[in-house]
Structure 1
């Protein structure tokens, strides 16, 4: 039988195989797709109680032919053709690595991963609520834990959720838990101590990934340099025989590989438990199984809490780490030569563990630091229901005693327009206006609070409740508005900086309260923005700078500085082409403020040097 189908580029073509492929000798059936000289082989996967199927993601427009292999003696091969049409609006294709530090969609559009972890949020009972929350959030990637013996209803729910996320442009990273001991099929770990037994007084799952605290000891070479570890310890796989485990991994990869928004991550178990370990050679084999059953080359990594893990295997596309120290992101990127994502850098929350009880400011600061160190970091939230937590997260800025008034005070001091009048004011940031459950009001810019129960976003999904998500939306907007090709700039050794020489600079100060910053930039004129990362305001200074410049700052934590060349942004920046008369009027207005710091006549060599 020869049938022609139509399918959009980078979308899913699904084919149910005829009944004769149910025979044991044909369970390894594959479908060969051809277009010109190109050949793509898609493996079949079984559906419990149903007909075997294959899924294919055409990545090139035009006509493809296909033929099913593994036909019993006397049977006729199933064959046909499909017409791949142009992608619809919003369909940019799968995400790929672009260079040593970046990502991009298949159509060339830059991709900046702003992910979150929601281990069990796409299980059947949670999926609808979690997907609804993700579509209203700033996150363009979600990490989900999947066990190898997941039951068919759970896999079907996961498929539906991944398809829904794909339509919304949200990537889904599948954490393939090799241990797989949970009866429901989604992995569940038990917190363990250094000696392998459960720690007394501890409860399951209080660390961000439900595993142990990270091992602090790192290896070194005799010369004192870092040693890339060639072996990693893994925990037992919950009773699956090696052959059965490999077969289930093959089936899982074949089932989900055709979704353009899927990423893969092997998730090692608790390191060192019971002395059980798997060699690097076995890990290579697991990576190979995924690659052989994913002909599209989706992003693939190993999630590790050891920065010195060897990520050099060619199958590994990027580095995924669990680390609470984003200041080392640039060092990790230099060490491994691949993009770095701190997928678990801690959780905004109130859980009884150090990295699961961060205030929102620290969560946001870690993500800003990773970005301005040339990498990325993921969001985590473990806010457990309770009156104390609700009170703590009631007002923005409540944990530091700082609010938008500080930005207004600084604006008055330098004579600039208030942040509310700037191009990226609080009024223009991402909003999520849906009300909270049970009549509760959600925090500004946050997703509605869930109904009461012993749940949190990191493990159960449902709804994002913390303050960090709105601030992450603000950062994402800044980064996506920046020119492409930014690099980490180690020459600014005392503040994390990314930029492009003579064009763009984004510098983050974290907890440091600098009173001013001095720069010596290439020839040209520059517009300067003071960014309050917590209150989500951008204050554009009223003068343009050039050459050697000194920029006054509000001496508050969690601020950033953005410097943009007017030549590179001609016509895009309001005030970039202002007349000399208007520029002088702006300067006079600024100097009329009593707190304005004068130039060299009153302050010697310091002041607003560099402003024009």
Structure 2
């Protein structure tokens, strides 16, 4: 920090200099940090910002090298078009990755010197998939077929030997559900099965040792999660000082990064982990950029950013379980503005033949999710009324809302990382009742600095079985989802059709009066969301029913109406 800026802070708000956040977040924008420390409505923030304006670091961002345009004469005219060899093509399966493997030229730098595409055609459906260079003269074009049948394909390339290769790809049926889409404001797999994200966070787990990565996968086997947020670049932050063995880019001769090439070994490891996640039914929410960086990946420049985004998208788009997150905490990456995010998202869309889910995540300033490239909202916000915020965001943007960061269950010394398990579970239930989705994270102190939220490893939190219980309640809904239902003023009700759940959070009512719609009968359960019990009231119920409750926090009442009801039926509660 500039000495004069430090003197300004000392005179206006000395408590700022005593905050650990000033050290941990020293490279990040000042205004939001002041807001976190002092409170957004503190009038001193404006005074501070005006007083330190003269000390702003206006150092120019390093100039970006010009893009490398593949040349049409990469191979001489004597090379026969389409003469590259192609591996035998196995029968493909619906919603499962297939690939064309071609063996062609390796001179120069094929990562940037060669452009390769393949067009796949079935009837009136035509899909273009971008290829990529792997290594040792090997090129791949991956394809995730959306329909069964005999697809024809033809390649196009500036390398003559790779241009004009044709063939057929037979696609047969499979039991795979396919990629997740947004359908009518909800998430669903391509085969129509509902997807209700119950996610977790392990930002840098694939940047750890093989043994630790294996342990992370094993931990996920018995965990309740069906989505995980994870980055490609490693993370530099508290508890994250180790150096990975592999990176997206190889080193150049001077020890820097050669951003014109990519490390196939890094990607093979990542791809193996993506396949393991898919086998567990887990979606991989891949974060392309983030600010927690000591290697220079957040400041590569426009050309390298574009090349990286294109390569990653082409290489990974055929993995059915991939989601794209343009950034974690985009508003801390000061080298990129809204135009940059729009451009980079456009590159993803251009190179993603599957049209995977695509969003971006904030630190303080919510992104404008009216952007047509965002399929859903990926939000950071931690407060006691997360459900009501979800309802507001859904009305504002008319898109599914995933609160991907609401705080972490744990016991570290940071407020965002020492939530009790009870509060983590309560936030999940609160968001669910309002039709939103939450993402878990875990930050328990460990002598070896292996915290799940970043490095993965072993899960130990008490929220895990309770989140599995929540998934069970959601999946028992006739729609497989929980949507907001008409509720009383004090507690939210969610469900679908004849299935309604009212959640009481941290409150402790001893009873609740439930009114069953006239002419209807219902079954009633008392749910203890912490003890994970379901107690059914004996009998079939009509009219006004007093439901006794245990007077404990984190309970709910589930009412299931019998059939032959109208859409106007409403389960009423008398306070």
TM-score interval, normalised by the smaller of the two chains = 0.7 to 0.9
Alpha carbons 2:484, 2:495 under 8 Å: kept: yes
Partner of 1:150 in structure 2? 248
Q: Compute the displacement of 1:487 (Å).
A: 2.5
Q: Cα RMSD between the aligned structures?
A: 2.5
SS at match of 1:67: strand
For each residue in 1:27-77, what CA deviation from the matched residue of structure 2 results, as whole angstroms up to 9, or x when unmatched? 221111111111111111232555222211111001111111015457762
Partner of 1:320 in structure 2? 378
Taking the aligned partners of 1:324 and 1:495, their CA distance within structure 2 comes to 20
Alignment of 1:274-289 (within 5 A): 276=334, 278-289=336-347
Alpha carbons 1:5, 1:81 under 8 Å: kept: no
SS at match of 1:122: helix
Taking the aligned partners of 2:362 and 2:356, their CA distance within structure 1 comes to 19
Question: Paired residue for 1:84, among 167, 171, 195?
Answer: 171
SS at match of 1:303: coil
Alpha carbons 1:329, 1:340 under 8 Å: kept: yes
Alpha carbons 1:114, 1:376 under 8 Å: kept: yes
Question: Paired residue for 2:202, among 74, 98, 118?
Answer: 118
> Is the alpha carbon distance of 1:182 and 1:35 closer, same or farther for their aligned partners in structure 2, counting shifts above 3 Å?
farther
Partner of 2:306 in structure 1? 246
> Is the alpha carbon distance of 1:453 and 1:12 closer, same or farther for their aligned partners in structure 2, counting shifts above 3 Å?
same
Alignment of 1:48-447 (within 5 A): 48=135, 51-73=138-160, 77-88=164-175, 91-100=176-185, 102-123=186-207, 125=209, 126-147=212-233, 150-151=248-249, 152=263, 153-177=265-289, 179=291, 181-183=293-295, 237-269=297-329, 271=331, 276=334, 278-306=336-364, 308-325=366-383, 326-327=386-387, 328-385=389-446
Alpha carbons 1:122, 1:130 under 8 Å: kept: no
Alpha carbons 1:21, 1:29 under 8 Å: kept: no
> Is the alpha carbon distance of 1:568 and 1:117 closer, same or farther for their aligned partners in structure 2, counting shifts above 3 Å?
farther
Taking the aligned partners of 2:165 and 2:516, their CA distance within structure 1 comes to 65
Taking the aligned partners of 2:298 and 2:345, their CA distance within structure 1 comes to 20
Taking the aligned partners of 1:75 and 1:290, their CA distance within structure 2 comes to 24
Partner of 2:91 in structure 1? 6
Taking the aligned partners of 1:76 and 1:355, their CA distance within structure 2 comes to 53
Q: Compute the displacement of 1:277 (Å).
A: 5.3
Unaligned runs of 5+ in 2: 1-84, 235-246, 250-262, 566-572
Alpha carbons 2:156, 2:162 under 8 Å: kept: no
Partner of 1:392 in structure 2? none
> Is the alpha carbon distance of 1:51 and 1:15 closer, same or farther for their aligned partners in structure 2, counting shifts above 3 Å?
same
Alpha carbons 1:518, 1:550 under 8 Å: kept: yes
Alpha carbons 2:204, 2:233 under 8 Å: kept: no
Taking the aligned partners of 1:568 and 1:133, their CA distance within structure 2 comes to 44
Aligned residues: 447
Provide TM-score, normalisation by structure 1.
Answer: 0.69
Q: Compute the displacement of 1:241 (Å).
A: 2.5
Taking the aligned partners of 1:114 and 1:372, their CA distance within structure 2 comes to 14
Q: Compute the displacement of 1:453 (Å).
A: 2.0
Q: Compute the displacement of 1:15 (Å).
A: 2.0
SS at match of 2:535: strand
Q: Compute the displacement of 1:338 (Å).
A: 0.6
> Is the alpha carbon distance of 1:113 and 1:510 closer, same or farther for their aligned partners in structure 2, counting shifts above 3 Å?
same
Question: Deviation above 4 Å: which 4+ runs of structure 1?
Answer: 1-4, 21-26, 73-76
Provide TM-score, normalisation by structure 2.
Answer: 0.73
Alpha carbons 1:307, 1:321 under 8 Å: kept: no
Taking the aligned partners of 2:89 and 2:299, their CA distance within structure 1 comes to 44
Alpha carbons 1:26, 1:70 under 8 Å: kept: no
For each residue in 1:85-127, what CA deviation from the matched residue of structure 2 results, as whole angstroms up to 9, or x when unmatched? 1113xx1111111212x21111111111110001111235132
SS at match of 1:83: strand
Matched, 1:474 2:479: no
Taking the aligned partners of 1:535 and 1:122, their CA distance within structure 2 comes to 34
Alpha carbons 2:232, 2:248 under 8 Å: kept: yes
> Is the alpha carbon distance of 1:468 and 1:61 closer, same or farther for their aligned partners in structure 2, counting shifts above 3 Å?
same
Taking the aligned partners of 1:295 and 1:56, their CA distance within structure 2 comes to 8
Taking the aligned partners of 1:110 and 1:59, their CA distance within structure 2 comes to 18
For each residue in 1:314-368, what CA deviation from the matched residue of structure 2 results, as whole angstroms up to 9, or x when unmatched? 2211111111132321111111111111111111101111120011111111111
Alignment of 1:499-514 (within 5 A): 499-500=495-496, 503-514=498-509
Taking the aligned partners of 1:7 and 1:469, their CA distance within structure 2 comes to 37
Taking the aligned partners of 1:239 and 1:272, their CA distance within structure 2 comes to 12
Taking the aligned partners of 2:267 and 2:148, their CA distance within structure 1 comes to 30
Taking the aligned partners of 1:43 and 1:505, their CA distance within structure 2 comes to 47
For each residue in 1:480-524, what CA deviation from the matched residue of structure 2 results, as whole angstroms up to 9, or x when unmatched? 1111164212532311211235x1111111101122222334231
